[in-house]
Amino acid sequence: MTRAPRRDLLAGLTVAIVALPLALGFGVASGLGAEAGLATAVVAGALAAVFGGSNLQVSGPTGAMTVVLVPIVAEYGPGGVLTVGLLAGGLLIVLALLRAGRSMRYVPAPVVEGFTFGIACVIALQQIPNALGVAAPEGDKVLVVAWRAVEEFAVAPNWTALAITVGVAGLMLAGARLRPGVPFSVVAVAAATLAAQLFHLDGATPIGALPAGLPAPSLGFLDLSAVGSLLAPAVAVAALAALESLLSATVADGMTTGQKHDPDRELFGQGIANLAAPLFGGVPATAAIARTAVNVRTGAGSRLAALTHAGVLAVIVFAAAPLVSRIPLAALAGVLLATAVRMVEVGALRAMARATRSDAVVLD
């Protein structure tokens, strides 16, 4: 971390700027609120950077994990999600001790691409209520909830929310093509927030009050009576965290020279991160491929960059919570819709669908 600290600090600052709206959005999408996303990005991001097996990895709340958490929130409430996080953290440490990390390299590429495409579709559907400015209808099936939200919008349209969502998503997608190095997610969210405040836009529902700082560590949320029923969801969360983290680390290795991650240590680091994040009100975390890619592209060479990312977000939590609380939910919906679109590699899907019949079947 002492070889090129200035470069790592700059990379960490850039990743934090990119990660802020994503952490807020994934926290809201999980059902635990924006503060849960921020707590996860700070706590899990720092611990995974210290104890993980990659020098370039950036961890925090992700879209794939959010999709898995939504039904858990619906059935067991916030306490169930936090308990699942602790259980998953323990399972990841067990996998690390069993040296299971090396086995992840055998997962077929069509499985990964098909999984990513499915996750992108679910993330997009989850954003429909906030994008249309309606209260999220009851239900745990995202397609049904999205359709009910459309019906409510048809009865009482909220054009302000829809305009904010489309504007933020459009600016992000266009900006990514024209100037890939500029964090257009922050530019778009800041512009939407400023417009909502200056023009007192009706329908631009803000995130709401955030706590000024992280909550004190607590085990009061644990429901030991539900551990048996939560074990299966915890296995799913641990498997997802392991798969996504090791895939992200492999991608990071391929984007640079002289870097090679330790898969078992990476599982251990993710286990520690998931044991700690729930204690501060966070959700289960994993490595984030998009944020890791930004980290590498901006010149990161050591763990100092990921630690800086977590530190900058911690400063925002403690110093700028009132400002962050004014961000419209529709703006975060736009960020996540654009993220879902960018997750899908159409060319890779077409190539795999045409490669062999077995690849096409697995992809479907």
Q: Which of 279, 284, 246, 244 has the alpha carbon at shortest distance from 265?
A: 246
Does residue 216 sit within a domain?
A: no
Q: How many domains does the chain have?
A: 1
Does residue 219 sit within a domain?
A: no
Q: Do residues 74 and 250 touch, judged by C-beta distance below 8 A? A: no
Q: Do residues 165 and 333 touch, judged by C-beta distance below 8 A? A: yes
Flag residues of the chain having pLDDT under 70.
105, 109, 112, 140, 223, 348, 359-364
Quick one: residue 95, left, alpha or beta (phi over 0 = left, psi -120 to 50 = alpha)?
Answer: alpha
Per-residue confidence (pLDDT) for residue 183, from 0 to 100: 79
Does residue 212 sit within a domain?
A: no
β-strand partners of 60: 286
Does residue 177 sit within a domain?
A: yes
Is the alpha carbon torsion for 122, 345, 248, 189 positive or negative?
negative
pLDDT one-digit tens code per residue, 326-349:
999 999 899 889 888 887 777 767
Domain that holds residue 172: 5-204+226-363
Does residue 332 sit within a domain?
A: yes
The C-alpha atoms of residue 120 and residue 179 are separated, in whole angstroms, by 23
The C-alpha atoms of residue 263 and residue 245 are separated, in whole angstroms, by 9
Please classify residue 155 by burial: count the beta carbons closer than 10 Å to its beta carbon, then call 0-12 exposed, 13-18 middle and 19+ buried. Answer: exposed
Does residue 333 sit within a domain?
A: yes
Residues 6+ apart with CB under 8 A from 127: 29, 165, 333, 336, 337, 340
177 C-beta neighbours (distance < 10 Å), count? 7
β-strand partners of 317: none
Does residue 353 sit within a domain?
A: yes
Per-residue confidence (pLDDT) for residue 60, from 0 to 100: 95
Does residue 169 sit within a domain?
A: yes
DSSP string spanning 312-348?
HHHHHHHHSHHHHTTSBHHHHHHHHHHHHHHH--HHH
- Residue that is written with structure tokens 């680091």 in the block: 269
The rounded Cα 274 to chain-centroid distance in angstroms is 14
Phi, psi of 230 (to 5 degrees): -90, -5
Q: Which of 292, 304, 288 has the alpha carbon at shortest distance from 256?
A: 292
Q: Which of 49, 98, 92, 40 has the alpha carbon at shortest distance from 271?
A: 92
Please classify residue 117 by burial: count the beta carbons closer than 10 Å to its beta carbon, then call 0-12 exposed, 13-18 middle and 19+ buried. Answer: middle
The rounded Cα 284 to chain-centroid distance in angstroms is 10
Quick one: residue 217, left, alpha or beta (phi over 0 = left, psi -120 to 50 = alpha)?
Answer: beta
The C-alpha atoms of residue 189 and residue 207 are separated, in whole angstroms, by 12
